[in-house]
Amino acid sequence: MKKVVKKHPLAIRWFHWINFPLLAVMIWSGLLIYWANDIYRIGWGDKTLLKFFPNSFYKALNIPFRLAEGMRLHFVFMWLFAINGFIYVLYLIFSKEWRYIFPNKRSFKDAWIVVLHDLHLTKNRPPEKKYNAAQKIAYTVVIFMGLGSVLTGLSIYKPVQFRTLTDLLGGYEWARIEHFTLTILFTLFFVVHIIQVILAGWNNFQSMVTGLFLVKENKESLLAKVIPAEEINAEKEVVEILPTKEEDIIEEISIESNNEEKE
């Protein structure tokens, strides 16, 4: 027997699917711009260990001599990217969804266990609700990365008009390095996120499309039940592991979703 429970609110799904193509266009157009002055590498002196990027990479993606196109795309979509991110943060704050995304004092310890579990180095896995500890840290870091990309982008887009901001970031050259580094980190997050979605399976993917998650009922199975700190002790975070039937978990998730809608 299977039951369907609510997982992701409509707003979260919209922000996610709007940001997906926006980020892709920003990375692509950034490559078209970077080609015109691709000075960054990893190495020392005359020794280069890694160059961003080899000519073969540019030719394979047909990037050369498309600077004007890249600038047009980048300077239009950067505003859409910034606006979507700004509204997303406002939604997290006013809807109180930040409680499920922002990490707590246990998240960093639990995230390491999640990583070991995903690498199949341990069978243990910390209890989780809507997001696991590693996801909470990653999604929170991405929010600050987005803010950093906007600020560094503005400082190299209009270094004279935003002179104070550019100076705070260490000057034009440092702002450009920071912007490039954030782009590389976004690309890595992009790749890892897609791999994780594939590994998680169709059920997890469709929950971000429909907002619904399919739970298979098994009377003999035992699940970890998480008791939120605010329900037990306002000063301490208490997480208790109890053998619980899936029917109880489904009922708890449904009650939590209904409470969110009422708020």
Query: Whose CA is closest to 196, among 262, 126, 114?
Result: 114
CA distance 226 to 232: 11
Distances 54 to 103, 190, 231 between C-alpha atoms, Å: 38, 21, 55
The pLDDT of residue 3: 79
The pLDDT of residue 233: 40
Write the pLDDT tens digit of every residue in 32-75: 999 999 999 998 888 889 889 999 999 999 999 999 999 999 99
Query: Whose CA is closest to 32, among 72, 64, 77, 78?
Result: 64
Write the pLDDT tens digit of every residue in 120-160: 888 877 666 788 889 999 999 999 999 999 999 999 999 99
- CATH fold, domain 2-262, is Fumarate Reductase Cytochrome B subunit (1.20.950)
Note the pTM of the prediction, 2 decimals.
Answer: 0.77
Q: Where are the domains of the chain?
A: 2-262
Q: Which residues contact 83 (CB under 8 A, 6 or more apart)?
A: none
